[in-house]
Amino acid sequence: MLSEIRQEKLENGLQVNLKEIHSAPIISHWVWYRVGSRNEVAGKTGISHWVEHMQFKGTPKFAPGVLDRAISHDGGFWNAFTFLDWTTFFETMPADKISLALELESDRMVNSTFPPEEVESERTVVISEREGNENEPLFRLDEAMQSAAFASHPYRNEIIGSVEDLHAIQRNDLYAHYQSNYCPNNAVLAIAGDFDSDEMLELIHKYYSPIAAHAVKTHLPGDETQLTSEQHCEVKGPGDTTYLQLAYRAPTAANEDFFTISVIDSLLTGPSGLNMFGGGGISNKTSRLYRALVEKEFAISVYGGLQATIDPYLYNINVTLRPGHKPEQVLGVIDNEINRLQQSLIPQIEIDRAVKQARALFAYGSENITNQAFWLGYPEMFDHYEWFEQYVEKLNQVTPQKIQTALQEYLQPQKRVVGIYLPEEVAA
């Protein structure tokens, strides 16, 4: 409940969400910035992810490598992530060592130096990461699918960026992106764990209040046109496995239909979690496409994916085909199952089971202190913290009529991209 958390906004615009959890002497500290690949322009794709990397390359106060050793020495761990709509940094520490996290994150919010030699070193790292991804069939297919699904919106680009842009981006580009977006009025501070909220707020004011707000100069994308005809893309590459992927334009996370699509995902492919740390696993063997594809030996596996985003993104259905079966054959099976759901109301008992599975996965992903802190900030990137608090209630409100309406609106062949990955020996 909202009563369990304390929310404050500092004079410089920093949103603070706190949650006391006294089950263990641990605190998890997250800083979320409202900038991701959604805010990038042509020629500078991947810049948000690269800036995230540069945040580990030192400030005048903390030289590169110093913090790694200090956090490990204190028994903590840290990491960072860049996504479509956001970039986040976190530290999970013993409760009596949390001042280090506040000090380092407030420092690198404004004082990162982006040394030229570190920029060039990291260019090599990021390009190598990109080249490694290109060895993965599903990365290749995902990239082609995103490009086909969006004509102009930056969601069409991979978060890591294109090879051409990674070679072209310079130190001044990175530093300008950092200065434009890393400021308290473009950030959310989320802290959960073993602390007293009044005492924590004193520390927060000590470290973060002196940082001045400034105008955020970032690209905001325009609306993307709807898909009006089925798009196809075929990718050929190494390996010995054929993959089929369907991508339908999905509603935004703030849209009521998002929760209905979440239940549809659970019905079709089994529940998929939004938490990046997972937490528990639930079998998808009761899902309709598992029974139709895996049990009948058309496919090795099937799973779905729905992301919570600011703008309409994609609902994906991913299938790993069994040898000897054609993608067109498997696509026909999928369409038959979707058509059945579109033409008749699904039994309430099946919805109840799907909702129960989705709720359970959501609960597993909210268990430990690091996950609790994650959820304090994550919904703020596309809506508000109340979204998290209302998630289970919204799932429970999904009805057979809502499912049928959403299936008819969103899961139409003319509103999707069909992607196929063919191993080179099969393609030949």
Of the listed ranges 4-13, 210-219, 418-427, the least confidently predicted one is 418-427
Shared domain check, 253 and 161 = no
Shared domain check, 245 and 187 = no
Shared domain check, 287 and 364 = yes
- Rounded to whole angstroms, how far apart are CA atoms 5 and 249? 34
- Strand segments, DSSP code E, in 238-376 are 243-249, 299-306, 314-321
Q: Tell whether the model's pLDDT for residue 280 goes beyond 60.
A: no
Shared domain check, 123 and 241 = no
Assess contact for 150 and 416: CB atoms under 8 A. Answer: no
Shared domain check, 358 and 414 = yes
Decide if 219 is inside a domain.
Answer: no
**How many structural domains comprise the chain?**
2
Decide if 218 is inside a domain.
Answer: no
At 196-233, the pLDDT tens digits run 999 999 999 999 999 999 999 889 998 898 899 999 99
Q: Tell whether the model's pLDDT for residue 2 goes beyond 70.
A: no
- If pLDDT is split at 50, 70 and 90, which confidence band does 4 have? confident
Decide if 225 is inside a domain.
Answer: no
Assess contact for 216 and 181: CB atoms under 8 A. Answer: yes
Identify the CATH number of the domain in which residue 192 sits.
Answer: 3.30.830.10
SS3 state of residue 28? strand
- Rounded to whole angstroms, how far apart are CA atoms 243 and 137? 8
Shared domain check, 49 and 120 = yes
Decide if 216 is inside a domain.
Answer: no
Decide if 226 is inside a domain.
Answer: no
Cα torsion at 299, 301, 302, 305 (round to 10°)? Answer: -150
Decide if 54 is inside a domain.
Answer: yes
Of the listed ranges 95-109, 221-235, 264-278, 281-295, the least confidently predicted one is 264-278
At 338-365, the pLDDT tens digits run 999 999 999 999 999 888 888 887 777 6
- Rounded to whole angstroms, how far apart are CA atoms 106 and 29? 12
Shared domain check, 174 and 56 = yes
Mean pLDDT of the chain: 94
- If pLDDT is split at 50, 70 and 90, which confidence band does 1 have? very low
At 320-341, the pLDDT tens digits run 999 999 999 999 999 999 999 9
Shared domain check, 292 and 256 = yes
Shared domain check, 263 and 156 = no
Shared domain check, 104 and 7 = yes
Q: Tell whether the model's pLDDT for residue 116 goes beyond 80.
A: yes
Domain range for 329 is 231-427
Comparing CA positions, the residue from 48, 250, 235 lying closest to residue 147 is: 235
Shared domain check, 307 and 196 = no
Shared domain check, 242 and 195 = no
Say what the pLDDT of residue 281 is. 60
- Rounded to whole angstroms, how far apart are CA atoms 195 and 341? 49
Phi, psi of 346 (to 5 degrees): -75, 145
At 140-187, the pLDDT tens digits run 999 999 999 999 999 999 999 999 999 999 999 999 999 999 999 999
- Rounded to whole angstroms, how far apart are CA atoms 119 and 121? 5
Decide if 215 is inside a domain.
Answer: no
Last residue of a domain, which of 177, 208, 239? Answer: 208
